Structure 1
């Protein structure tokens, strides 16, 4: 019996020292792993944040470029017919959108839906106003009706989308 007590007397303190060392080392490695993850995240943020901001900038530019007033001023030319202008406006919107498709990677899914909805609302406006006019008439008729119709819309989708985009950008900083 005394032999067992002698063995316990030496083994028990060793087990306590081993358990303490194990727990200390485990905590150290866990904290080190958390620090490495945090450092990786911060380094990643330093690279991704400027890219995301550029994506938001590009999307604001896209929305401003497809805004009916700026789109018509940019695309309308002397001597164009309603049909020619309508086709040119639609092609310009689609080209702008395709050029910015990759930006969806950097924005939320909800914002991307808003952007697509804004694009579709402008296309729908152009289609609906163009269908009410004679295709061969001067493009000034289409220009005028599209701009007037857009101005009559209370809180147009494109304005809501710009506000949502700005809100998402400001959430990055908060």
Structure 2
């Protein structure tokens, strides 16, 4: 048998190569698993944020329902003061929730904006059609009646959000 001075190095290399290959494969598998875990956690976090957005927008829509608006503020206010305060409240709450549009579809966000605008329009239209002698209670009654006689766009929007949320999640 021919003895070479490189024989111990060749033997060490022969043993080390499979070990290095298995180590490399283990490291790549571990990295792949960690990426999948991170992706899962990211998707889970986005899903939770999306659910929270739907909850906040639904709460906003519930708050701008005329039945809930007429219970706000002091009964001793003048009609124009009440109108100003309600409009201010709706716009402030809408601005507070505007960031939630990131988690809703464009169509759903447009429906929410339309609900807000329709409610404000109904508030002003009711005020314009009332006589100057009308009390705040008269205004609230006519406002509620106008909403009830028209399309219930807020409940429709909430139902659409509920369906969309079920589809997405």
TM bracket (short chain): 0.7 to 0.9
Shift of 1:161: 0.8
For 1:81-102, what per-residue CA distance to the aligned partner results, in whole angstroms no more than 9, with x for missing partners? 2111111111111111011011
Taking the TM superposition and a 5 Å limit, the aligned residue runs for 1:102-117 are 102-117=99-114
Shift of 1:134: 3.6
Counterpart check, 1:159 vs 2:155: yes
Aligned equivalents of 1:35, 1:171: Cα separation in 2? 28
TM-score computed with the length of structure 2 as normaliser: 0.75
The root-mean-square deviation of aligned C-alpha atoms, in Å, is 2.2
CA distance 1:136–1:95, shift in 2 (3 Å): farther
Aligned equivalents of 2:85, 2:159: Cα separation in 1? 27
Decide which of 66, 70, 95 is 1:98's aligned counterpart: 95
Q: What is the number of residues matched between the two proteins?
A: 143
3-state SS of 2:70 partner = helix
Q: Where does the alignment leave 5 or more consecutive residues of structure 1 unmatched?
A: 1-28
For 1:94-142, what per-residue CA distance to the aligned partner results, in whole angstroms no more than 9, with x for missing partners? 1110110111111111100000001011011001001112456421111
8 Å contact from structure 1 (residues 129, 145) kept in 2: yes
Q: Where does the alignment leave 5 or more consecutive residues of structure 2 unmatched?
A: 1-27
For 1:15-72, what per-residue CA distance to the aligned partner results, in whole angstroms no more than 9, with x for missing partners? xxxxxxxxxxxxxx8x999877654432211211111111111001000001011011
Match of 2:5 in 1: none
Decide which of 58, 81, 86 is 1:84's aligned counterpart: 81
Match of 1:170 in 2: 166
TM-score computed with the length of structure 1 as normaliser: 0.73
Taking the TM superposition and a 5 Å limit, the aligned residue runs for 1:16-165 are 38-75=36-73, 77-135=74-132, 137-154=134-151, 156-165=152-161
